[in-house]
Amino acid sequence: MPQQQIEKYLKHLADLATISPVAVELISKVEDINVSREAIAQLVKKDDILYTNVFKLVNSAALALPRRVQNILEAVNIIGMFQLRNLTFMIAAKKVFVDLELWYKSVFLAYTAEKIARALGLNQNIQSDVYISGLMMSSGQVIFKTFYQNQYKGVDKILHLQDRLEREKEIFEISSIDLSCEIIKSNGLPQSILSILSNQALGWREEQFTQQNAILELSRILAEIDSKNLDEYDLNRAIYEILEPEMLEKFGMTKLKLDTEFIAQLHEGTASFVNANH
């Protein structure tokens, strides 16, 4: 697609809250092993929202520390670089997602992808990559849903990813995932995230489609399923109507327990975060 056409959609980013330069710099430096924790802590102090949320996280009931942490360097050391990276992305992405339904699904997708990666025994770097990729995957849809409501009406309800992306291309000449990749590039965000999302639109049988892509696809499907009124039989049928079991087998995900209790826990965790940060 010509760059001029891409710019037509990217220009709308100026009408949304942009990712702060501090966040972009912090994301880059968190990934640099040569940057000290002291330097990272000083960067966190430059972003008031991130600074507040770091202390909110480190002093939360989830960590259950014996005393309140008040020093930013100590807080950064406790949270760790991967958690700080995820938190920075979450705060940055929240500014862009003006559509609350899309924001909830994106948080659910990120939260679920990280949990699945952890359950599969993947390292923290991959856990963080799929978490952030899950957050950013729908950023292109934000532009379509916000600025092209009439043309996009009903398109986001298409469950099969390939079908939805094809329909988006028919309307806009670019898919929402392709647009998400352009947003990532325009903001100077990590190559590892771009690499994952660049392959997300591929079929799972393609060589470039990785386990990270499979994790995101499963998480996306679970985000679309309302499990409240489903028994286990109907849940499995709902999953496998839009997901091929062979994909789970190929990428070592058959051991995952995809039951109504698991999905309910995912929704509970997502709702807790969204409500706390609304």
Summarised one tens digit per residue, pLDDT across range 149-161 is 999 999 988 888 9
**CA pair distance 186, 220, nearest whole angstrom:** 24
* Residues 8 and 140 reside in one and the same domain: yes
Q: What is the pTM for the complete model shown?
A: 0.88
**82 and 215 inside one domain:** no
What is the spatial distance between Cα 186 and Cα 184, in angstroms, rounded to a whole number? 6
Same domain, 132 and 170: yes
Nearest to 134 by CA among 217, 211, 51, 56: 217
- Mark whether 221 and 170 lie in a shared domain: yes
Residue 161 and residue 250 in one domain: yes
3-state secondary structure at position 106: helix
Looking at the fold, whether 68 and 157 belong to one and the same domain comes out as: no
- In terms of domains, do 178 and 53 share one? no
Residues 188, 13, 150, CA angle at the centre, nearest 5°?
135
89 in the same domain as 23:
yes
Q: For residues 63 and 192, state if they share a domain.
A: no
- Torsions phi, psi of 246, nearest 5? -60, -30
Domain shared by 122 and 167, yes or no: yes
CA 217 – CA 224 distance, rounded (Å): 11
Residue spans of the chain under pLDDT 70: 1-2, 17-18, 226-230, 232-233, 276-278
In terms of residue numbers, what domain contains 55?
Answer: 17-96
State how many domains the chain has: 2
Question: Under a CB-based contact definition with an 8 Å cutoff, are residues 214 and 250 in contact?
Answer: yes
87-103 confidence digits (pLDDT tens): 888 888 887 888 888 99
**Residues 262, 219 contacting (CB under 8 angstroms):** no
User: Is the domain of 111 the same as that of 231?
Assistant: yes
Nearest alpha-carbon partner for 222 in 252, 178, 196, 253: 253
**What's the confidence (pLDDT) of residue 146?**
92
The rounded distance, in Å, linking the Cα atoms of 255 and 226 is 22
- Provide the 3-class DSSP secondary structure of residue 226: coil
